[in-house]
């Protein structure tokens, strides 16, 4: 889709009857810095968009429209350079993540959030007790669970409290901190990292829908690649995790419908001996 096509599709999606109405919806001259005539020429394809116009437009449109706008911009501005355009658009399609509106700071970036690194004892217990792991996640995600309606045995609850995984008051089970972090090889020793891996694998064992689900994506590929690609692949998995984390907010909007989400990413370059 070229840029004129993007603007036309956007106008139709908003049920705006004229290009002038679209111009005014975007803030007119005050926001866009161009006249309505100039905007009409860009919208018809008679005049190419400028980089400044794209930058201004991205500040006025919705987050879910930004990736399409960027792709459409380069589709139009590089129209006379098809080879360069093809390579650039292919790159952007693969590596440009869709933007998301983020009204609040991610909880992982919020310095007010109390954080705890899982201990080896905590990880070992949770990875060996699916009932406790489910309860711990429910309390962590929703801040509290009523004791009266909790079906997890009292002995399990008390053991979790002894391990500082939860707090128990008169009527509720509460999280022991705001955020829990899993040890990684960058910040912990081999034994702690191994227990953290067991903990992650337990998540997959419990929550993966083995028969499939429209709310789940599960894929696997094993292939030969140029080793030079491995750092980029690992970087992309890491970036995807950070992007997903950025969608979490410490303050929930009344309009939002929040659901628990499980993401687990794995990319590993293998040694031939691992296939023996």
Q: Where do the structural domains in the chain lie, given as residue ranges?
A: 3-95, 210-275
Convert the pLDDT of each residue in 154-180 to its tens digit.
999 999 999 999 999 989 999 999 889
CB 5 within 8 A of CB 79: no
CB 171 within 8 A of CB 99: no
CB 182 within 8 A of CB 199: yes
Residue 140's contacts (CB-CB under 8 Å, 6 or more residues apart) are: 175, 180
Confidence band for 103, pLDDT divided at 50, 70 and 90: very low
Tokens of 7: 């603007």
Task: Select from 169, 175, 170, 129 the least CA-distant residue to 152.
Answer: 129
Query: Is pLDDT above 50 for 94?
Result: yes
The CA distances from residue 128 to 40, 108, 123, 134, 200, in Å, are 64, 27, 8, 12, 12
CB 171 within 8 A of CB 178: no
Task: Select from 175, 87, 80 the least CA-distant residue to 136.
Answer: 175
Query: Is pLDDT above 50 for 233?
Result: yes
Tokens of 252: 């929930």
Q: What is the mean pLDDT of residues 198-226?
A: 94
Confidence band for 265, pLDDT divided at 50, 70 and 90: very high
What is the pLDDT, as a whole number, of residue 59?
A: 87
Task: Select from 207, 191, 205 the least CA-distant residue to 124.
Answer: 191
Confidence band for 108, pLDDT divided at 50, 70 and 90: low
Give the angle 56-61-67 at the CA atoms, nearest 5°. 90
Task: Select from 12, 22, 16, 113 the least CA-distant residue to 60.
Answer: 22
Convert the pLDDT of each residue in 60-78 to its tens digit.
888 778 889 998 998 888 8
Please give the residue that has the higher pLDDT: either 80 or 73.
73
Residue 167: strand, helix, or coil: strand
Predicted TM-score (pTM) of the model is 0.65
Convert the pLDDT of each residue in 16-69 to its tens digit.
999 999 999 999 999 889 999 999 999 999 998 988 899 989 888 887 788 899
Q: How confident is the prediction for the chain on average, in pLDDT?
A: 88
């Amino acid at each position: 889709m070229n840029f004129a096509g993007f603007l036309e599709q956007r106008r139709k999606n908003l049920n705006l009857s004229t290009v002038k109405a679209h111009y005014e919806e975007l803030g007119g001259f005050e926001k866009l810095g161009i006249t309505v005539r100039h905007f009409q020429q860009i919208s018809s394809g008679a005049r190419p968009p400028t980089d400044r116009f794209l930058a201004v437009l991205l500040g006025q449109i919705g987050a879910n429209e930004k990736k399409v706008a960027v792709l459409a911009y380069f589709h139009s501005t590089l129209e006379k350079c098809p080879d360069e355009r093809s390579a650039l658009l292919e790159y952007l399609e693969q590596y440009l993540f869709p933007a998301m509106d983020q009204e609040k700071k991610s909880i992982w970036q919020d310095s007010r959030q109390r954080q705890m690194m899982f201990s080896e004892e905590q990880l070992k217990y949770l990875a060996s007790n699916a009932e406790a792991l489910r309860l711990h996640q429910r309390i962590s995600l929703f801040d509290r669970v009523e004791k009266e309606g909790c079906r997890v045995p009292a002995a399990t609850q008390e053991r979790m409290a002894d391990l500082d995984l939860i707090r128990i008051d008169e009527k509720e089970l509460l999280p022991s901190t705001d955020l829990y972090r899993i040890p990684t090889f960058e910040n912990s020793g081999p034994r702690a990292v191994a227990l953290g891996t067991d903990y992650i694998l337990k998540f997959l064992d419990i929550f993966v829908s083995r028969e499939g689900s429209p709310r789940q994506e599960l894929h696997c590929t094993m292939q030969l690649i140029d080793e030079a690609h491995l750092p980029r692949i690992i970087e992309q998995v890491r970036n995807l995790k950070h992007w997903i984390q950025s969608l979490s907010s410490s303050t929930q909007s009344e309009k939002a419908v929040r659901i628990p989400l499980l993401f687990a990413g794995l990319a590993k370059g293998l040694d031939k001996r691992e296939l023996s």
